[in-house]
Structure 1
Amino acid sequence: MQVYQVDFVIISLGQFSDVPNMPEFPPNKGPEAFHGKVIHSMEYVAMDYKSLLEFVKGKRVTVVGFQKNALDIAMECSAANGLEFPCTFMYKTEHLECPRLPSPGSPFGILLPEQVLELLVHKPWRRNSLSLLATLFSPLFYDQVDEGSIILKKSPSFSFCEEGILVNGETEPLKTVLVILATGFGMKKSSKTFLSPKPFKTTF
């Protein structure tokens, strides 16, 4: 074993991968109570485009979240199923957040809203031209809402039951067979990276 003496350690483990941010539920009211399938958006976007369509085709899908990733997934489910199996889009607030400032003094976190930053993320199955079109025509999401292939459902909280989702304030369950949690990513990767008898400060 070699020991290195350093002044500081930079942890570059990636912010948007590996550690999904999963909602917490009371006992027996989480995904374990649900007879359908629950996945995080991280698993969804790892599929190729053909597999994505086959995965959601003919299913009642509920997407939970309200960031760009959630909007994209809802649009894809809507395109696959149309009015026959509308996609339910569940969210807490209509606020679409911009990413935080990437570094002290950098203006990009302020100047580049999330939909512009989407151009910087190249999805393997999407050509650059399609990424540009997805950004330019994002308002088409609301056209899908108007036609009924995407159903908006605002709720501060929810839980699971056998048939689907129990929405806060509603008596009847929201029937669904697939729930995609587009709930972002956590920052817990560093917790098991180092074993140290002394406390240390981490900066990302």
Structure 2
Amino acid sequence: MDYSRMAHADADELIRGKRVVVVGSGKSGMDIVAQCAEANGSEHPCTLVYREANWMVDPNLTWADDFFEKLTTGRLAELLVHKPGEGLALSLLATALTPLRWLVGKVTEAYYKMLMPMRKHGMVPGHGFSAAALGWRAGVLPDRFYDMVDRGSIVLRRCGGSFGGFCADGVVLDGGAGGERVDADVVILATGFDADRLLRGVFVSPRFREVVVGRPSDAMLPLYRHCVHPRIPQMAVVGYAECGASIYPYEMMAKWVAHLLDGAVRLPGVAEWERWARRRSGAFFPKSCIDAVTTWYHDQLCRDMGYSPRRKKGAGFLAEWLQPYGPTDYAGIR
């Protein structure tokens, strides 16, 4: 966050001609590593220290990405996924289609492993693509990322255990005195964000801090429609839930909150909400993530606001079930 807030000239001065180590293999970490590699080249390579690889897809595989987007998103694809609070029929259908979901995930994994040098560089994730999509532990690689690895502008260092910390000239991998050392002038920690802590920090009252989160950090935050806690109905949270395409789902959340303020949306009572929260507390998705069910989530918001969830006007029945949804489908909602 400190790096991203810097003016371009200040950021360039921080990294240019320096031995930079970036800790963390998420989207932010990958982007920063690529920026450092472009600035310094192989003369001063940037080292990426990571514990686990994530599913990161190549932005140049556009034709295939379009195919897999149609295969893994949209209303039909979401039938394969269990959803919190779903009815018995949808639950049985998702269970029956489990083998198909497994097959789609394996085909997707095999495709990316074939076309990207993930095995060569030790960047094959230890978890499946389907699991990554459910918890949004995926992203898009910076352009020519593996080319920069091959040229020596980026050095990959896997940390088998816990990050060892700092030493006089850099960082120590795999804690302990005998851990491998990596020389560094600058270390950038891209190790994730504790959104629960930030949300708790809004309140001075310990009671409200406990109410607003009140669950282990690996569970879903109990916000109704991912926006409002019925015990604190005066506060709406927009943008907490994770998804692949953040901007238009967050805009939909904002529209839903506007309808709530206008009195067009009814919040459940506390007792009703607690029953709903218990139903959705199963391990469907790590954290609050709607990436695998974005269309289903938007369907709920549309019904609450009094709009039809079927947005493919004039495109026919098959388009509703097979075509991915995007921002233009919701442009008419005010």
Q: Please give the TM-score of this superposition, normalised by the length of structure 2.
A: 0.36
- Tell me which of 65, 69, 73 is aligned to 2:24: 65
2:204 is matched with which residue: 183, 194, 197? 194
Give the one of 174, 182, 193 matched to 1:168: 174
1:163-202 per-residue CA deviation (whole Å, 9 max, x = no partner) reads 1111228655211111000011012124341315686353
1:200 counterpart SS class:
helix
Q: Matches of 1:91 and 1:196 in 2, distance apart? A: 35
Identity of aligned residues (%): 35
Cα distance between partner residues in 1 of 2:155 and 2:170: 15
Structure 2: give runs of 5+ residues left out of the alignment.
Answer: 57-82, 86-132, 214-221, 224-334
In structure 1, runs of 5+ residues without a counterpart are 1-41, 98-102, 116-134
Distance 2:184 2:206 in 1: 46
User: Partners of 1:174 and 1:61 in 2: how far apart?
Assistant: 10
Q: Which amino acid aligns with 2:144?
A: L
Tell me the secondary structure at the aligned position of residue 168 of structure 1: coil
Give the helix-richer structure, 1 or 2.
Answer: 2
Q: Contact (CA 8 Å) 2:19, 2:185: kept in 1 or not?
A: yes
Following superposition of structure 1 onto structure 2, how do residues 34-183 of structure 1 map, counting pairs within 5 Å? 42-96=1-55, 114-115=138-139, 138=142, 140-155=144-159, 156-157=161-162, 158-168=164-174, 173-183=181-191
Find the aligned partners of 1:196 and 1:89 in 2 and give their Cα distance: 38
1:110-155 residue CA offsets vs partner (Å, 9 max, x unmatched) = 5x8853xxxxxxxxxxxxxxxxxxx5x7351111100001000001
Are the structure 2 counterparts of residues 140 and 159 from structure 1 closer, same or farther at C-alpha, using a change threshold of 3 Å? same
Provide TM-score, normalisation by structure 1.
0.56
Change (3 A) 1:195 1:53: same
2:19–2:44 CA contact under 8 A, matched in 1: yes
Code of the aligned partner of 2:31: D
Aligned structure 1 segments of 4 or more residues deviating by more than 4 angstroms: 169-172, 196-199
Which structure would you say has the larger Rg? Answer: 2
> Which of the pair has the greater relative contact order for Cα pairs under 8 Å at 6+ separation?
1
**CA RMSD after TM alignment:** 3.3
Alignment length (residue pairs)? 137
Aligned to 1:21: none
1:78 & 1:154 partners in 2: Cα distance? Answer: 18
C-alpha distance in structure 2 between counterparts of 1:200 and 1:172, whole Å: 43
